[in-house]
Homo-oligomer: A and B are copies of this chain.
Amino acid sequence: MPQDIYDKIMMLAKRRGFVFPSFEIYGGVAGFYDYGPLGSQLKLNIENLWRKIFLLKDNCIEICTPTITLHEVLKASGHVDEFTDLTVDCKKCKQSYKVEDIVDNISAEEAVKKGKIKCPNCGANLKDAYPVNLMFSTRIGIGSARDAFLRPETAQGIFTDFHLLYRYAREKLPFGVIQVGRGYRNEVSPRQGTIRLREFSMAEAEIFFDPKDKTHPNFKSVKDKELYLFDNKKKMKLSVEKAVKNKVINNQALAYYMYLTQEFLMTAGVDPKKFRFRKHGDDELAHYATECWDAELFSERFGWTECVGIADRSAYDLQSHIDSSGTDMYALRKYDEPKEVKVKKIVVDMGKLGPLFKDKAGEIKSILENMGPTINKKSDIELTFLRQKITIPKNCYEIVESTEKEFGEKFVPHVIEPSFGIDRILYCLLEHNYHEGKKKGEEYRILKFNPLIAPIKVGILPLISDEKLLKIAYMIDENLRNAGIKTYYDDGGSIGRRYARMDEVGTPFCITVDHDTIKDNTVTIRDRDTTKQVRKNIDELKSCFEKLI
């Protein structure tokens, strides 16, 4: 069978230590991959480049929250009810399928309605599709254990801390919060290699805006840059500013983060011809989004592949957590002068509420107090609390009106979210940077990684196995590593083979130590892409590579 580029890359990836199938010695499981020594460095470099742009350049703050997430959080966010795939089981051969994977051209819902799906395995007719939740579930503790899931996105950890982060940001909008880490999705039957993982690495940014002002302070600096857009009909290149003006993109904030995303991907080494932003149709928007653009990268095996989603999540998540938890997660639009306003408040009678709800009474009290402005008439109140419907009898509270000073208008911030799938970007970078040909009749492969993301920066190769040369080479290796530069020392085989080994894993530079080195303290630096060589003094190497990388 002829190999496509995916096969070639996965073979190289396994042979040279980029990617291994997980648990292979126990038969493996679809949807899990290990990053080997080179893959792990490549991933780290991609994440560090991402942080450089979002944490340092864009000045976001970063947080780090658990992957295990309480049921309550994901119930409020809508994931318990909405994060599902329509699934069918084959009664004959016992396979399960995601409907979307086995029907073509028509929507999954339609296919199910028509009842004309056949089992790709045994050909039997498939019926009774049902939604399957895609979260991995687990339980915390024993006995009175609490239900939990592995997070489907890092974002919820940011939303549930919003009130603390808003204080950290000194109550000024906009501000951005990032998180880099694992996400999980218990796919029914993943069959796309490293593209559809059950456990993956993501980098997400949640930028909080006043919904009345979705401008961005740095917009000016990017307004003339061109975006590569695709509106599901035609491709177009538009300046950031024009895209907003012509309403192709809804607001400055969204357009600004789209440009930042494009800049990140281009710097990482994506082929511009294999890059586009595609706008979501109304029927494909996630349950929390009002507008969404995908940064898609083209893969020869997988076609246009979503690698980043940039969504306007509006007030959806914060509002949900306010409603479910009763926590004050509002932002304040300050008035120039404080206003006097009449407010309705619920004053809880703990003498009555306490005996009814015992240790839960305190939490219920604060939920009730938060409901203050929405209650007009005194009557029994129905609430959902810890997933149970409860009724608060009307004798448990009073509605009190009073006059208070108001310093500003409370509102729920909107969120713009660029969400990056690191593993998919990593795979596409392998594909976009892979070059092959023949050299002296042999297969020759080069990964033309940007030095910034190359897993090994410098190969160190003593020309021949002479003790004196080895000693110098080893010293150079040690010095560069101590200066924070990832090297690879190799004294085995012909120099041509060693260059080839370094080219194949994308090492941008090689140092050769030869007999002249002993005489004049210089070495050869070879450039991977041009194969040109220059001589440099050993003492200049550190500063030379710091500049090059």
Contacts and interface: CB of A to CB of B under 8 A. Distances in A.
Contacts of A39: 63-64
A502 B549 CA distance: 32
A12 to B, nearest CB: 13
A65 B35 contact: yes
28 contacts: A17-B168, A20-B164, A23-B72, A23-B160, A25-B325, A27-B72, A29-B140, A34-B161, A35-B63, A35-B65, A36-B63, A37-B177, A40-B62, A55-B486, A56-B482, A56-B486, A57-B482, A67-B67, A67-B199, A68-B150, A89-B143, A94-B143, A96-B143, A136-B139, A140-B186, A141-B189, A142-B188, A170-B492
Contacts of A324: 26
A435 interface: no
A-B complex: 7 closest residue pairs judged by Cβ atoms: A37-B61, A25-B325, A26-B72, A35-B64, A40-B64, A25-B327, A34-B65
B136 A138 contact: yes
Residue of A26, A136, A492 with most chain B CB atoms under a 10 A cut-off: A26
Interface residues of A, number: 85
A64 B43 CA distance: 9
Nearest to A69: B23
Nearest to A61: B37
Contact of A168 (B36, B138, B177, B187): B36
Residue of A24, A27, A66, A150 with most chain B CB atoms under a 10 A cut-off: A66
Given A29-B140, A31-B140, A36-B63, 17 more contacts: A16-B168, A17-B168, A22-B65, A23-B70, A25-B327, A26-B325, A27-B363, A34-B64, A35-B63, A36-B161, A36-B168, A56-B486, A67-B199, A68-B150, A96-B143, A141-B189, A150-B150
B138 A142 contact: no
A184 B94 CA distance: 33
Interface of A: 14, 16-17, 20, 22-27, 29, 31-37, 39-41, 43-44, 52, 55-57, 59, 61-70, 72-73, 87, 89, 94-96, 132, 136-144, 146, 150, 157, 160-161, 163-165, 168, 170, 177, 182, 184, 186-189, 198-199, 321, 324-325, 327, 329, 363, 481-482, 484, 486, 492
A76 to B, nearest CB: 8
B17 A37 contact: no
B34 A70 contact: no
A32 B68 contact: yes
A34 B143 CA distance: 25
Contacts of A14: 164
Copies in the complex: 2
B199 A161 contact: no
A41 B68 contact: no
A50 to B, nearest CB: 13
A274 to B, nearest CB: 26
Nearest to A360: B27
Contacts of A150: 68, 138, 150
A171 B123 CA distance: 48
Nearest to A35: B64
Contacts of A62: 37, 40-41, 44
A215 to B, nearest CB: 18
Nearest to A169: B37
A8 to B, nearest CB: 19
A95 B144 CA distance: 8
A35 to B, nearest CB: 4
Nearest to A329: B25
Contacts of A16: 168
A290 to B, nearest CB: 24
Contacts of A23: 69-70, 72-73, 160
Nearest to A156: B23
B67 A484 contact: no
B146 A142 contact: no
Contacts of A36: 63, 161, 164-165, 168
Contact of A34 (B24, B56, B63): B63
B37 A165 contact: yes
Contacts of A27: 72, 363
Nearest to A328: B25
Given A25-B321, A161-B20, A484-B56, A63 B89 contact: no
A142 B14 CA distance: 28
A26 B143 contact: no
Contacts of A70: 23, 26, 29
Contacts of A65: 22, 34-35
